[in-house]
Amino acid sequence: MKLLYTLNQKPPHGMTFLLALQHMLASIGGIVAVPLIVGASIGLPNDEIVSLINAALLVSGIVTIAQCVGIGPVGIKLPVVMGSSFAFLGVAISIGNESGVAGIMGAALVGSFVVVIASFYMDKVRKLFPTVVSGVVVTLIGLTILPVAMNWVGDAPAVSSEFATLPKLFLAAVSLGIVVAVSVYCKGAVAASAIVIGLAGGYLVALSMGMVNLEQISTAAWIGGAEPFKYGLTFSASAIVSMSLVYIVVIAEATGDFMALANNCQTKIDGKDLKRGLLGDGLGSTLAACLTAMPLASFSQNVGIVGITGVASRYVVAATGALLILAGLFPKLAAIAVTIPKPVLGGVGFVMFGMIAYAGIRMLIKAADTKRNALVICVGLASGLAVTFEPRLLQHLPHELSNFLHSGITTGTIVTVLLHQLLPKSSKQEEQEAHAEIRAMVKEEMNELEQQEESQEISQTELPAKSNN
């Protein structure tokens, strides 16, 4: 797919704002949800939950800008949106119920250095992720995150009679339909804004149906912000170990996200790039703990937006970071986005998450078509999806190991990497894989040349028109 804006292009200011807004709207629900759920689960009063939310938005914005623009050795310089990660939800609630917010922040602070240390070994880690492995990981990211969109559409506990009622299904279908229609029948800037148009259209329909709760806007404060070390820090060995295990999961997920994003941006990344990205991830979580925010991770849904819109500009997502900072400083701005009904987000999420899986499938097509690779792909995908669809498969494992493998991305990644390293590979197969990768590189170069020729033809046809004027 031809990119509308490449990685280092800067769209016009008005277009940058609109494109940044759709990244913000896609991510703000997840950023807000983690501190909201954790705060409510450990019994914090509403004003303190709001404080956690403000801190989460502020830190997410700061670290997003760092990842997009790059600050010294920190930041992968890809359009990465960073936010509070659902991966930490269970362990944060468990620690919070035992040691309060101070225990969560203490464990998060120490655990963040696991990611920082791991970042210095990414040159070696990158060698573990050839095309066949990275394709499985990226596909799993898209497929395992789809249940999030399904839960957004249901907007109630799965056992409840209110789950996925007809009005909710209608809202999701309308939002999805708008995104598809705009992407197919519109061009240029309008097509690139398909996500935000779908969200806006679904929001207006929800307003007309009385399904938007505007109370959150009226009750939100005008000015807010983060309070460093508000609850202090306490340290528990068991809490630190539990949190560190989740950070290891985040390393695997972040690696997959970065590779998927690079693929959508039509650029190459190496171990040094992954090191910069993971270092930004780890230091971002360190900052989050200091400012009393939940640990951070890259947001997969925004990877899908890049794939759908063709907007790979890192400056657009850096502007998203600025919007998140504003939302953290002015809670009423964030409250507007938070009022978007979950079914609207779910309808749009179907496209975003599906696009990530599509990016992974495209990567798998580039891998050599051998029986060995087929086994690696099939078993890797099946392992990741198995623990996603049936978590009870892990119920008899030791608690720490069960927590570590509960993520389908983590399980699938480990299985795929191990199979690729352990299964015997014939010299003929190695030659086939090398040729396949060369063909893929040549094809990409040909596509780039065609795009350059097209842009030159367009500029040449525009010159006479300008001279005639």
Please give the pLDDT value at position 49. 75
pTM > 0.85? no
Q: Report the amino acid identity of residue 186.
A: C
* Interatomic CA distance for residues 36 and 46, integer angstroms: 9
Give Cα separations from 397 to 28, 379, 381, 394 (angstroms). 35, 20, 21, 6
Phi/psi at 11 (nearest 5 deg)? -65, 165
Q: Where are the domains of the chain?
A: 13-354, 368-449
* Interatomic CA distance for residues 346 and 56, integer angstroms: 22
∠ at Cα 42 (240, 26), nearest 5°?
Answer: 85
Give Cα separations from 409 to 140, 300, 414 (angstroms). 6, 12, 9
pLDDT tens for residues 17-28? 888 887 887 777
DSSP annotation string for 353-388: HHHHHHHHHHHHHHS---HHHHHHHHHHHHHHHHHH
- Give residue for tokens 């792909």: 377
Please give the pLDDT value at position 469. 46
DSSP annotation string for 408-431: HHHHHHHHHHHHHHHS---HHHHH
Please give the pLDDT value at position 171. 92
- Residue 139 C-alpha from the chain's centroid: 13
pLDDT tens for residues 169-180? 999 999 999 988
Task: List per-block mean pLDDT (blocks of 10 residues) for the chain, which spans 469 residues.
Answer: 79 86 76 74 74 87 92 89 76 80 91 87 72 82 79 84 90 91 77 75 90 75 77 82 74 80 83 87 92 85 75 89 87 70 84 78 82 91 90 85 76 88 74 60 55 50 47
Give Cα separations from 354 to 138, 193, 281, 379 (angstroms). 11, 18, 25, 21
Please give the pLDDT value at position 453. 52
Please give the pLDDT value at position 333. 67
